[in-house]
């Protein structure tokens, strides 16, 4: 690792923070400098496990560390905007777990802070940095299945109810739409954008329905979208629903299936299946060198840029707008949005 490697600090010590820390040594551009958590002992355990020289019992202390160049924000959803803004104010580059914030206006404030302070900011949709995703975009742009007519994107799983889990806690914006629905929303906007020869596309209309449980979070939700050129899409999200993660792109000459669209473990391979009229099914195998480490290298390779081409600021703002509209269809408002 070069002496000029980007020195990372991690805000949070949960499962996603551990995954990021585990992959960081395999990146070309980064190394772990510090970990911060609300409880010092949790930060110290993670720092010891992955060889970070510093651990802090507050996020403020980490942001004050002059040896930290960039931060990975792995807190609960409702804290993303605050710490993205505060990290920018401290002059740190920012990779923030999805969603970048819980609403469009909050995403805009994080983006504005990064722009004002001249720091890099990216929403950490890891799949956007995958070689598999780049291949999918290439297939759509090339017309591999003709003119795109529809997208079906799903991310559901059935979690056992746990009153202590953030998934079931409305106060930290739990539930399906923000935790996993943001993936099919983002993927669909990317695919339709490729079909229309744009970086991404925003829907013309959003209609949604779902089930809000006794905890006040959405446990299952669907959305029906329309786009330019008559393209339609169906999004499905859920945290108490048996099902799978899957993306299908349907065109005038066939369809493309992505069985594992959002998560491909480091070092493994994935498949894209292309079923075109008059041709045998084509199985395209893509190797996955890293997962979360690809995001870290995007920050390390930023040059003078303040945003990532794989996940631009305008893209993050548009995705937040779609998620707002989806939630509005369910009448889903989080306590923090009511001032509580």
- pLDDT band of 1, cuts 50, 70, 90: very low
Domain ranges for the chain: 6-126, 127-291+304-338
Determine which helix (DSSP H) or strand (DSSP E) holds 322, and give its type and residue range: helix 313-330
Whether residue 3 has pLDDT greater than 80: no
pLDDT digits (tens, 9 = 90+) for 290-316: 999 999 999 999 999 999 999 999 999
User: 14: which strand partners?
Assistant: none
Kindly list the distances between the CA atom of residue 254 and the CA atoms of 174, 245, 274, 283, 316, in Å, as whole numbers in the listed order.
Answer: 37, 20, 8, 14, 30
The fold of 6-126 is Rossmann fold (3.40.50)
Per-residue DSSP letters for 273-309?
A: EEEETTSPPEEEEEE-S-STHHHHHHHHT-TT-SSBT
The C-alpha R_g of the chain, in whole angstroms, comes to 20
- Res 2 pLDDT > 80: no
Question: 149-164: string of b/e by CB count within 10 Å (b at 16+)?
Answer: bbbbbbbbbeeeeeee
Cα(175)–Cα(333) distance, integer angstroms: 11
Adjacency order of strands within the sheet including 232-238: 205-212, 218-226, 232-238, 148-156, 245-251, 254-258, 269-276, 282-287
Mean per-residue pLDDT over the chain, rounded: 96
Output the pLDDT for position 281. 95
Provide φ and ψ at 147, rounded to 5°: -80, 125
Q: pLDDT band at 80, cuts 50/70/90?
A: very high
Residue 340 has pLDDT above 80, yes or no: no
- The pair of structure tokens assigned to 111 is 């983006």
Distance, CA of 280 to CA of 111 (rounded, Å): 46
What would the two tokens of residue 70 be?
């960039």
> What DSSP state is assigned to residue 104?
H
In this predicted structure, what is the pLDDT of residue 258? 98
CA distance linking residue 102 with residue 200, whole number of Å: 20
Torsion of CA 67, 69, 75, 80, to 10 degrees: 130
Average pLDDT over residues 144-160: 97
If residue 6 lies in a helix (H) or strand (E), which one and from where to where? strand 6-11
pLDDT average, residue stretch 231-249:
95
The dihedral through the CA atoms of 175, 179, 182, 187 has a sign that is negative
CATH topology of domain 127-291+304-338: Dihydrodipicolinate Reductase; domain 2 (3.30.360)
| Residue 110, CA distances (Å) to 22, 81, 89 in order | 27, 6, 10
């Amino acid at each position: 690792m070069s002496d000029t490697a980007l020195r990372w600090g991690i805000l949070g010590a949960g499962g996603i923070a551990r995954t990021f820390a585990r992959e960081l040594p395999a990146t070309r551009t980064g190394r772990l400098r510090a970990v911060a958590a609300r409880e010092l002992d949790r930060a110290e355990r993670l720092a010891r496990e992955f060889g970070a020289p510093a651990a802090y019992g507050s996020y403020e202390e980490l942001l004050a560390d002059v040896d930290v160049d960039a931060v990975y924000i792995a807190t609960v959803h409702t804290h993303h905007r605050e710490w993205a803004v505060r990290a920018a104010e401290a002059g740190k580059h920012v990779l923030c777990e999805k969603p970048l914030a819980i609403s469009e206006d909050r995403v805009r404030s994080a983006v504005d802070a990064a722009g004002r302070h001249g720091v890099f900011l990216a929403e950490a949709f890891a799949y956007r940095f995958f070689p598999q995703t780049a291949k999918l975009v290439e297939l759509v742009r090339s017309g591999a299945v003709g003119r795109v007519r529809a997208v079906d994107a799903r991310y559901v799983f059935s979690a056992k109810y746990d009153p202590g889990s953030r998934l079931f806690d409305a106060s930290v914006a739990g539930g399906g739409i923000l935790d996993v629905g943001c993936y099919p929303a983002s993927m669909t906007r990317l695919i339709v954008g490729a079909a229309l020869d744009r970086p991404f596309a925003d829907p013309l209309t959003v209609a949604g329905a779902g089930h809000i449980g006794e905890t006040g979070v959405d446990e299952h939700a669907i959305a029906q979208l329309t786009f330019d050129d008559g393209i339609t899409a169906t999004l499905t999200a859920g945290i108490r629903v048996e099902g799978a993660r899957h993306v299908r792109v349907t065109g005038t000459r066939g369809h493309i299936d992505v069985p594992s669209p959002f998560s491909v473990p480091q070092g493994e391979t994935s498949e894209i299946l292309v079923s075109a009229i008059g041709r045998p099914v084509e199985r395209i195998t893509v190797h996955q060198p890293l997962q979360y480490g690809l995001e870290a290298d995007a920050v390390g390779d930023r040059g003078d840029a303040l945003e990532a081409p794989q996940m631009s600021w305008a893209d993050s703002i548009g995705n937040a707008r779609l998620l707002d509209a989806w939630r509005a269809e369910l009448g889903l408002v989080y306590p923090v949005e009511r001032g509580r």
